[in-house]
Amino acid sequence: YALEAMLKEALQSGGLELHYQPVVDIKSGKPIGAEALARLIGHDGRTINPARFIPVAESAGLIGALGEWVAAEACRQHAAWLNEGMRVVIAINVSPLQFRQRDFAQRLGTIVAEQGVEPHGIQVELTESAVMDNVDEAIEILNQLKSFGVKIALDDFGTGYSSLSSLSSLPLDKLKVDQSFVRRIERDPASRAIARAMIALGRALNLEIVGEGIESEHTLEYLRSEGCDQAQGFWVSHPMPPSEFVQWYRNQH
Ligand code: G
Ligand code: G
Ligand code: MN
Ligand code: NA
């Protein structure tokens, strides 16, 4: 209950922030974009992570409001950075519950249109369970999102129950190979084989592939040699508040 009250208050009076984790081109190391990760800031300045407050938002009926705040803030930041000459594709996470809300796509389309976002400047990350639950309905929602110029990434790929035939029928742009495999690439041959197979599958389906949770140069090299396109993880950078992200970005050029 304390967390629910805190979240409600944060939505009204600015107690939420987005932190940004860079995504880079795996060959050149040049920044491409960033994943926006929500943070709840307590009165004592303490940061609470989404793993704790997203489930609360879902059960308290606040996930729609939270998701719309995230989308609007990400779009505002994208446009502000573009004004300063920084072209950052911002990825936002959408929970399965939010994805299935009746006018989700329409509302997101309105938010994107209001903020002066470039086509493909915003990307939506969805998990397998969000899209595989009802594939026909998902295809319709995804096509609507794409008509607004939003790109679609399948997040945490490999941890859900994707049907491979459905995978090819969904209008996706990107696959994000889940960090549970990536983090074990160096020490576990099975994880290495799975990561490799997922990259091959993504390439066969003409999708961009992002390796997430990359924590070493060795892992990054492995993914690059297997044809992975983009890299994300602590080896590249931790998630950062916007001001730090700007410093990081400028240092890459
Ligand atoms: O930043 P990290 O611990 O902090 O994120 C934990 C999980 O929370 C990840 O699975 C991430 O996708 C999810 N997450 C982060 N930000 C958001 C958000 O704004 N909305 C939703 N639905 N999930 C988020
Ligand atoms: O589920 P999702 O992919 O949206 O999760 C993003 C989460 O993963 C964030 O909490 C982020 O802080 C975390 N994360 C990002 N890179 C790494 C990494 O290299 N190692 C670990 N352990 N966590 C990471
Ligand atoms: Mn994500
Ligand atoms: Na992920």
Distance in angstroms (rounded) separating the CA atoms of residues 222 and 48: 33
66 closest CA partner among 105, 40, 42: 40
Distance in angstroms (rounded) separating the CA atoms of residues 68 and 111: 8
DSSP 19: E
Nearest 5°: the CA angle 162, 166, 167 is 65
Extended strands (E) in 95-142: 122-127
2 lines ligand 1 (CB under 6 A): no
pLDDT grade for 161, boundaries at 50, 70 and 90:
confident
**pLDDT of amino acid 138:** 97
3 state SS of 156: strand
Model ipTM value: 0.97
Site to probe by mutation for ligand 1, drawn from 21, 49, 53, 54 as the one with most ligand atoms within 8 Å of Cβ, is 54
Element (H, E) at 197: helix 189-204
Across 209-216, average pLDDT: 98
Which residues neighbour 190 within 8 Å (Cβ) at sequence distance 6 or greater? none
Does 116 score more than 90 pLDDT?
no
Does 1 score more than 80 pLDDT?
no
Q: Which amino acid is at 117?
A: V
93 lines ligand 2 (CB under 6 A): yes
**pLDDT of amino acid 43:** 82
Closest ligand to Cα 157 = 4
Tokens of 73: 């803030």
Does 89 score more than 90 pLDDT?
yes
Q: Which atom of ligand 2 is closest in space to residue 176's alpha carbon? A: 3
**pLDDT of amino acid 105:** 96
**pLDDT of amino acid 11:** 95
Domain with 193, as residue range(s), is 2-251
CB atoms under 10 Å from CB of 104, counted, come to 21
Closest protein CA for atom 24 of ligand 1: 93
Does 44 score more than 90 pLDDT?
no
**pLDDT of amino acid 28:** 97
**pLDDT of amino acid 162:** 84
Does 45 score more than 90 pLDDT?
no
- What percentage of the chain has pLDDT greater than the value 70? 100
**Tens digit of pLDDT for each residue in 12-30?**
999 999 999 999 999 999 9
Separation of CA 236 and ligand 1 centre (Å): 18
Number of domains forming the structure of the chain? 1
Q: Which atom of ligand 2 is closest in space to residue 35's alpha carbon? A: 4
Sign of the dihedral defined by the CA atoms of residues 21, 24, 30, 33, in that order = negative
Q: Which atom of ligand 2 is closest in space to residue 215's alpha carbon? A: 19
Does 156 score more than 80 pLDDT?
yes
Say which CATH number the domain at 147 has.
3.20.20.450
Does 163 score more than 90 pLDDT?
no
